[in-house]
Structure 1
């Protein structure tokens, strides 16, 4: 009998198909079986809780959440990690977005704000990623009064480097060519995984992480076993211990079978 594992899953491109915006049936079946076999199931996503709206089919199986790329981790109503961006750096980034006229999502502890002068946020999040709840955004000035957990600016990699030079308390994890997720130094999915394992009394050796994007790199390297989806970016595949098939080709089912967890 294999030991019990803590399984950490990215959402977009890992659990949820970019094509259908749904969790494939084989993935639902795989997670149901894994849970029945005694393994724990955690989400590890760049999404803030307010826009985690696509996990209804597996919600009852989830033991805990690593959200906003590790800045906010929780089990039930208990906060395990809350790692905020330095307030002055958050304000600098928001002012830069206003000045340069690019879109940005500002994620506070309780609410989000959306600045979208060119419609990029709406087009990519609503149409390409099928994100709901963006309409629940409140004015950015009110969100900036809260602790800021994540900033999602819509600009290219070159400008990303320039802005990061001005906000030294932050790091960036890009999982889409159009935008990146900026969090505080020390807030990433790998550290989120370790914090969750410590909180739950789990041996990090018996953790397994699944991902497809650049912001999954720390988690794939940190986990006892790192699994890259077949649709993952090449840089992530190089860091993984194992590569499965894509999200649309029963990737989660195949990986869990390979490691004899189901």
Structure 2
């Protein structure tokens, strides 16, 4: 890794943060107090802070204490700030119909995310286990037969990697990302975390050379590869750490604060 510490405090103007395992602890399901204070200090210094998450808009209540400059949600499919929607992207109806047909013949839980709602075709222990980790997947199951007539931004399919490949063959206009071996997020092509970054850079007239990002999961790797300065959390997997310029401590051990101090941003 090249030494990117020198001059970083003058170079970085925008920092993008994943939520689960990065800002929010999997143990406490909260943002550590040290991280909240650090984010507030960044804003006071004029550095813009952004969320870049697989969660939808309805899953951001855990961040209520912090005012961000923008939100890249649903892995980039729905990007907005306090004033307007910067970018949105929904799944092709034909791809959705193919998914519904697949679910009719396979006992697979699947979550469907709309702008202000999320629901499942049915729930079992797999969904309950992810909810135990995230505290963000407690939505009900209901009839999803007409889902192809709705604006769906992302699907959360509880399949292994082999089944994921089969689903993508049925959904040619979609891509997938996974941060847990039990499921993958399926999203329309065109919207990704890195695309969301570019949308906000254009909106705020910033350069990619002025960006930094923090992440811990597989769905963060493209984002970490995209920004100028990439930080992996100590609780992240090895592939994430390989994609980073710097590996910090775990979220519960003040990892965000330690990295910001390492790069003289605090």
Same fold (TM over 0.5): yes
Q: Partner residue of 1:129? A: 134
Question: Residues 145-224 of structure 1 correspond to what in structure 2 (within 5 A)?
Answer: 145-224=149-228
Question: Residues 235-254 of structure 1 correspond to what in structure 2 (within 5 A)?
Answer: 235-254=239-258
Q: Distance in 2 between matches of 1:222 and 1:4?
A: 14
- Aligned in 2, Cα 1:156/1:115: closer, same or farther, shift over 3 Å? same
Aligned length: 258
Which has the larger displacement, 67-76 or 44-53?
44-53
Unmatched tracts of structure 1, length 5 or more: none
Q: Partner residue of 2:4? A: none
Q: Distance in 2 between matches of 1:170 and 1:198?
A: 25
Q: Partner residue of 2:110? A: 104
User: Given that residues 111 and 143 in structure 1 are in contact (C-alpha distance below 8 angstroms), is that contact kept between their aligned partners in structure 2?
Assistant: no
User: Given that residues 84 and 184 in structure 1 are in contact (C-alpha distance below 8 angstroms), is that contact kept between their aligned partners in structure 2?
Assistant: yes
Q: Distance in 2 between matches of 1:187 and 1:236?
A: 20
User: Given that residues 209 and 227 in structure 2 are in contact (C-alpha distance below 8 angstroms), is that contact kept between their aligned partners in structure 1?
Assistant: yes
Residue of structure 2 aligned with 1:48, choices 48, 51, 56: 56
User: Given that residues 100 and 145 in structure 2 are in contact (C-alpha distance below 8 angstroms), is that contact kept between their aligned partners in structure 1?
Assistant: no
Q: Distance in 2 between matches of 1:167 and 1:150?
A: 12
Deviations 1:99-123 (A, max 9, x none): 20110001123432212243422x1
TM-score (norm 1): 0.92
Deviations 1:60-88 (A, max 9, x none): x2111000000110111411111111111
Residue of structure 1 aligned with 2:70, choices 52, 64, 67: 64
Q: Which runs of 4+ in 1 moved over 3 A?
A: 141-144
Q: Partner residue of 2:229? A: 225
Q: Distance in 2 between matches of 1:142 and 1:64?
A: 32
RMSD: 1.7
1:141 positional shift: 4.3
User: Given that residues 131 and 138 in structure 2 are in contact (C-alpha distance below 8 angstroms), is that contact kept between their aligned partners in structure 1?
Assistant: no
1:138 positional shift: 6.3
Deviations 1:192-249 (A, max 9, x none): 1111111111111111110000100111011111111111111111111111111111
Unmatched tracts of structure 2, length 5 or more: 1-8
